[in-house]
């Protein structure tokens, strides 16, 4: 349209609201909307605000394709009632907001914790840590750790992080560790 392309698809009051509720700039929100609607079939693009994009489509984004935690990321940011990890535009914005350069490290570490909490029970236990390590080292035979190496690594992680020595890492312990690793925030990002 003459109103400057897809920009006019986001009502101004909503755009303002999204700017207040996220760490994204107006430009980033408009770009996100464009990226989101491109994941929808043509006939649904007009109503991208009310549409949900299936997880399989979200995972085609180059930013997620290469991310070892892609399934967890969809799971944590999806508000789907049916648990299919599909995303609404607002879910998508939330995800981009948390991964943006402007998000605070507290916000980033809170979501990282949720992403790494594979069984969603609110703590990182040995099983979560094992899955975390497997995601990071890749699932290939040659890159997998032996059980002795895995044991040692998890021991080291808990030794380092488990302040109350209960055998698991809770959110505040995790945030404490993250606060001491300056490169954490920069590694936890998606740039559109």
pTM (2 d.p.): 0.89
CB-based contacts of 9-12 (< 8 A; 24+ apart in sequence): 9/33, 9/37, 9/48
Q: Which long-range contacts (CB under 8 A, 24 or more apart) does 1-9 make?
A: 6/30, 6/33, 6/34, 6/37, 9/33, 9/37, 9/48
- Which pair of tokens denotes residue 185? 């925030």
**What structural domains and CATH numbers belong to the chain?**
12-99 (1.10.238.10), 105-188 (1.10.238.10)
The pLDDT tens digits along the chain (192 residues) read: 344 444 457 888 999 999 999 999 999 999 999 999 999 999 999 889 899 999 999 999 998 998 999 999 999 999 999 999 999 999 999 999 999 999 998 999 999 999 999 999 999 999 999 999 998 887 677 778 899 999 999 999 999 999 999 999 999 999 999 888 878 777 777 766
């Amino acid at each position: 349209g003459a109103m400057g392309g897809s920009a006019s698809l986001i009502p101004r009051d909503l755009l303002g609201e999204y700017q207040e509720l996220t760490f994204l700039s107006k430009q980033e929100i408009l770009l996100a909307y464009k990226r989101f609607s491109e994941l929808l079939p043509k006939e649904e693009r007009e109503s991208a605000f009310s549409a949900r994009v299936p997880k399989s489509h979200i995972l085609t984004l180059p930013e997620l394709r290469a991310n070892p935690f892609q399934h967890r990321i969809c799971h944590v940011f999806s508000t789907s009632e049916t648990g299919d990890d599909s995303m609404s535009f607002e879910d998508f914005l939330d995800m981009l907001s948390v991964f943006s350069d402007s998000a605070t490290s507290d916000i980033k570490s809170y979501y990282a914790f949720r992403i790494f909490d594979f069984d969603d029970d609110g703590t990182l236990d040995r099983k979560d840590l094992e899955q975390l390590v497997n995601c990071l080292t890749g699932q290939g035979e040659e890159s997998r750790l032996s059980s002795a190496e895995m044991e040692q690594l998890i021991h080291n992680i808990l030794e380092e992080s488990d302040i109350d020595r209960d055998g698991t890492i809770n959110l505040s312990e995790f945030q404490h560790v993250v606060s001491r690793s300056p490169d954490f925030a920069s590694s936890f990002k998606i740039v559109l």
